[in-house]
Structure 1
Amino acid sequence: MKVFWIPAEEPEGMRAALYALAFLAGAGESEFSHAHPADILWRRLNALDFFWLLIIDNVDDPAVLGGSRRRITEGTEWIRPPETSNGAIIISSRNGRPERWAPWIKMRHIAPLDPEAGALILLDLAPSAGSHTHARDLARLLDGLPLALELAGRYLAAVSSSPFPIRGSATTFAEYMETYSERIERLGMDESRSHEPEEDRRVLSLTWEISLDLLNEQGHDLARPLLRLFSCCAPSPFPYQAILRPEVLSASPLFPDPTPERLAGALRALAGLSLITLDFVPRADDLWAAKINMHQLVRTMTRINAKRSGSLANYLTVLIQLLETASQDLEADNAGDWPKWAAIAPHCTAVLELVVADGIDPASDDLRLAMQTAQRVAWYRYMSGQYNQSVIDHEQAWNLAVRSWGRGSIEALETAGNLGRAMRENGDASGAEEFFRSTLAIAHESVGDEHPVSLTIRLSLARTVRETGRFSEAEAELRALLSIARRVLGGRHADTLMIVLNLAVCLRAQGRFEEGIRYYEEALAGWREDHSEDDLNTLDIRFEIAQSKHSIGLVDEAVGELRGIVEIAARVYGDEHPNTLTIRHGLAMSLKTLGETQAAIEELRQVLEGQRAQLGADHPLYLSTRRALEELTQ
């Protein structure tokens, strides 16, 4: 049997691995231009002529497997019931709620290992640590928890192989049981509650605290603080070489003398006892490629231990400073930085989750720093077309800003403006409009109508009105806003130019093409002064001009322009970025006008699959493309 193992801690990495599996199962590059990658994957898996097993590991949030429970149930997402007797799928998860899973998924509770099986694991890891009987007794004491057994076995193996044994360290199964029992008595644990979740976690906590004591005695005094720092992070791979800056760590008394050599030794020691896993990379020039992974139970209990000791807020402060330093040179609108943003983003938002969920109250300056970094993450998600996640991230930041500084604060108003934009792009125009209006009313009271943040919110509201088809209403608002913006911000300010662009769109939508083109050209000339040709807004303005040319009969010219814009958008932002797909939709409509019906149909089919994957089957852009395709194929 062929086994395919896919880790799911990091959603983007999981999807990339499944995409790669499709190729491994025999898919060709050309197949992906006609269908969604998930369809290709399962078509290929179901066609395999040998027995196979797909394991998707650590799926604690079923949402990472698809856009909705309904689509997972229907078998139209990344996981589906195999249609062949040759294949099977196993999903491991700590989420045992049946309502979160599709009905075709059969749930099986995995019990702890029995003492005999546990003894075999211990003897395999530490064969010289004692008899089979003592190994069985230790396995029973550890409740048969696989992680606890591994930690204990690796501890004993490390002690027995040390060229300079630490006096007093447990070296046998029997001695380990004595050390463990002493800690149970100090903590007052109730052995009668064996296998209850809380008791299981405390069992595990004791095993790695014993291991951390050993590392500290061996001179790895940075091991425990590093583990506690990692416990504040998200359950996603942690790019440690890019984030662990000695100059930042050295400012905290938690990390004495954090030289690269001492940090490397502590990380190797933690990995040697299986408290973390290190993913090394051969290329030393890519600091973002080397990752640390940490078991979720180790993360949870280490965080609890840090909180009990009263030091969790201090570790959180260090992490905030590390993340800000690592991300300060990254740009949210630079597609070249997006892979780095993808690596650091979960940890930046995890900081805010920790502040809210655990009631941690960092110093005001640190909280502002965390907020700024999380807002940049949310904006990266917006710029890269991850609108749903951008809504989630912006909403989290906005709620915290409101709680910390009030809804009328600049922090809350700026975040609210971006949250509304993400809501609109995610397909909720009516909700976005209502949110913009309520936010604008608060901005009116707190900062005034001509403050830059108020003008930005008014622009976003006017665009939302325009996108709902109320063009004359939007035009009136944009003209009034343009007059204020030119006076307050200046004619070449980015917001002023965006007002000009949206006014041009309103004019084109009302059939006033020549007038609209003049405004488009003004916006493009101003935007090009400070932005490159592959900037998203530059491409957007060029796309709108091409659409206008189509409308006045210059269809050949429009097609040539659209092909050039598509080439840049696909190369810089990717084939499935929402803006790329919108441009391709426009190209298909121009091809239709030229009579190239088959080419238009093929283009729309690819756009439709891309929009389904990126935006979902309920998004207005997807529905618009589907209607256009249906009209062409009738």
Structure 2
Amino acid sequence: MANSLAGGNAHALLQVGNVYGGLSIGTAPNGEPQPGLVSIKPPIGRLTSGLYGRDAVLADLTASATRADGALIVLHGAGGYGKTAIALGVTRRLWRRDPDFRVWWVDASTGPGLVAGLREVALDAGADLEEVLRAWSGGRSAPDLLNRTLEAAPGPWLLIIDNADDVRLLEAQGPFGDGTGWIRALRRSCGTIVVTTRDKSREAWGPTAVRHEIRPLHPAASAELLNAGSPAAGSSAQARDLAARLGHMPLALHLAGRYLTAAQEVPEVPGLDRPRNYVEYERVFRDRFPEIDRLHRLGAEADERRLLNRTWELSLDLLEDRGLHWARRLLRWLSCLASAAIPCFLLDARVLAETPLFRGITARDVEATVAGLVNLSLVERAEFVDPRSETATLECVWLHPVIREANRHQDDVRDDLPGYLALCLSVLDGFTSGLTFTTAAELACWAVLSPHCEHTVAWVAEEAGALRRPLAWELMASKLTCQLARFARLTGAYSRSAGQFEAAAEVRRHHLGRWHPEVVAIRRELAWLKWEQHPTLVVLDEFAALADGCRERLGEKDPLTIACLHDVAQLKTQVGLGGRDGDSYREVIRLRGQLLGRPDAESVSAQLALVTTLWENGSDTCEEEFGRLLAMVDECAAEPAAWAGGMPLEVLREHVVLLRDRYRGTRPD
């Protein structure tokens, strides 16, 4: 379609079509083209305030632009980190020094916008109009013409290509498949190219590019940015707290400050619960995140890149378009875990593939998906170092708190809440069930898993009303609570351990009753926890009462009854109340034998304690009981697969023989 403009020497508008997803410029019937369909002027008006905490990178970029040595500079980082603002900040600095400094701005968020913008750059840099028309119509290489024109353009100049997240639009082959990319480091140039992108992969930009990773702000700069935007919204301390909650992300900080300023200028309306200061805004962010973007629309509209629930969806759309179909679901699941380092050993495709959410996923899929998420800064690589042992390090990933909130509150997570919650429970329970506390590496695993276990347990309690069969969910969660309590007990955090054991016991007691074996097992662990802190007769009485209750309600041959009787025998011996003949141990051995029909680790342990008691009391039956102990060890050795003792049987036998010989050496001839 063509349009003509009235007036003398009228020009026709250019045709706009698609060539490789871009613009094809034709000519009007009278042969006179009309360029200028898009603006390449930097949108400096979008910088409404100063840039806080970015002085170093601004100074470096300004110096590079002033040198005009043909550098290709890539500013990469997650959406919301302020890459575009930094590029505009450089422009403002350059223009303050020299209002005539040539700066071109091209929006690369879409193919048509990129192609049209680069066409305008070529024209403004001095390319022949006819050559541009021919190149951008596919008659010759448009990327080659652009690069030759920029190499010859007098400098200094700065070309900023903003939002170049889809690097395929700038890849080496170029949009016309002729082997020349749109952007490359220029030789003999008098200018500089700056690209802002979410893609940090080195392969995308080549070895000659100068790469700057844009990170969240430092805490002081974050608070300064908030205070500058909304100085009447609270104290400096409250600003620091809110900035920390927002992960020091420039976009989130800017939106919060702008909203609070607008909220203070609007009269309060009955029926609306709007936050009006830092504390109230932080509460909404923490407890009612889905409402955040509606707040930000107060007094202004925002595009997708400036909406907290949408800007990272653009990155996920891009990954999906690249064939990484698991990216959105994997990021959603990671966001359902705690706001802490997530160990990579949880990303086990063999476990994930057994769940409906990730049915069919492979290890290669997981590897490629995680790499894609890392390249777009949706997750970051991290290393967990256990403070108890610096040699125990674990490879992890980490989510920015705002990205995490935005993902875990998406509708698809809420629609499949049981699926995501079940995956968190099953992965954590499956891994911790086989994890012991014997090595530094295992202790590091416990340390890195603990916050995720606690978070998942709290999530189950919070969502119990929305789940079918809440009993099953809460009982599963109580397993994680018990595991956490054991880890806390091991590390000496007795008060924390007691609280966790009591919480798990309360859940199980509520659903199963006071004398259910799973409840008794926790009560027994709580009693041991008390004994470790205060070995008193009062605690011993608690053990005895637990053993008597088990004998009455579960029966004397129940494994828990026998275990509790063994506890009582041990503790009586420790306080000197075990008796000369070790009758408490004899009862444990008798009942254990009746229960199993053969000796096991617990009965061997009780027999060893019996022998020790008899030896200490000078009993004449000690030699006989040593013989029974060796016979029990030999019987266990006949079925070594059933042995669950901590010491190998051959070592245990040698130890018993040595003890017997020492005993014999103390006896009179």
TM-score (norm 2): 0.48
TM-score (norm 1): 0.50
Select the structure with the greater relative contact order (CA < 8 A; seq sep ≥ 6).
2
Between structure 1 and structure 2, the one with the greater Rg is 2
Where is the helix percentage greater, Structure 1 or Structure 2?
A: 1
